[in-house]
Amino acid sequence: MSSLWQWLEEFWGKIQIPSLALNILDVLIIAVLFYLLFLLIKRTRAFQLFQGLTVGIIVMLLASVAAGWIGLTTLEWVLRTIVAMLVGTLPLVLAIIFQPELRHFLARIGRGGFIGHNHSQEAVVDQVVAAVRHMSADRIGALIVLEKASGLVEIAESGVQLDSLVSADTLESIFFPNSPLHDGAVLIRGNRIEAARVMIPFPDSVPGGEGLGTRHNAGLSLSRDSDAQVIIVSEQTGMVSLAREGKLQRGIKPDRLRGELLRSFKSPEQGEAP
117 vs 74, more confident? 74
pTM here is 0.59
172: nearest Cα among 206, 203, 135, 138: 135
User: Which pLDDT score, from 0 to 100, does residue 145 have?
Assistant: 93
- Please report which confidence band the pLDDT of residue 41 belongs to, taking 50, 70 and 90 as the band edges: low
3-state secondary structure of 203: coil
Which range among 28-42, 73-87, 105-119 shows the weakest confidence by mean pLDDT?
105-119
DSSP 55-94: HHHHHHHHHHHHHHHHT-HHHHHHHHHHHHHHHHTHHHHH
142: nearest Cα among 224, 227, 254, 260: 254
Phi–psi pair at 242, nearest 5 degrees: -125, 120
What is the rounded distance in angstroms from the CA atom of residue 108 to the CA atom of residue 103?
9
3-state secondary structure of 248: strand
3-state secondary structure of 144: strand
pLDDT in tens, 134-158: 999 999 999 999 988 777 777 888 8
3-state secondary structure of 178: coil
Average pLDDT over residues 233-250: 90
In which element (H, E) is residue 145 found? strand 142-146
Phi–psi pair at 179, nearest 5 degrees: -70, 155
3-state secondary structure of 14: helix
Taking all residues of the chain, what is their mean pLDDT, rounded to a whole number?
78
In the chain, what are the domains? 8-110 (no CATH), 121-265 (3.40.1700.10)
pLDDT in tens, 185-223: 999 988 889 899 998 877 665 665 556 778 888 888 888
Average pLDDT over residues 45-71: 80
**Cα separations (Å) of 171 from 36, 148, 178, 232, 257?**
33, 19, 14, 13, 16
Q: What angle do CA 221, 225, 228 make, to 5 degrees?
A: 85
- Please report which confidence band the pLDDT of residue 117 belongs to, taking 50, 70 and 90 as the band edges: very low
Residue 267: pLDDT above 90? no
Q: What angle do CA 221, 227, 233 make, to 5 degrees?
A: 55
Strand partners, 144: 186, 231
**Cα separations (Å) of 225 from 56, 109, 245?**
21, 28, 8
Provide the residue count of the chain: 274
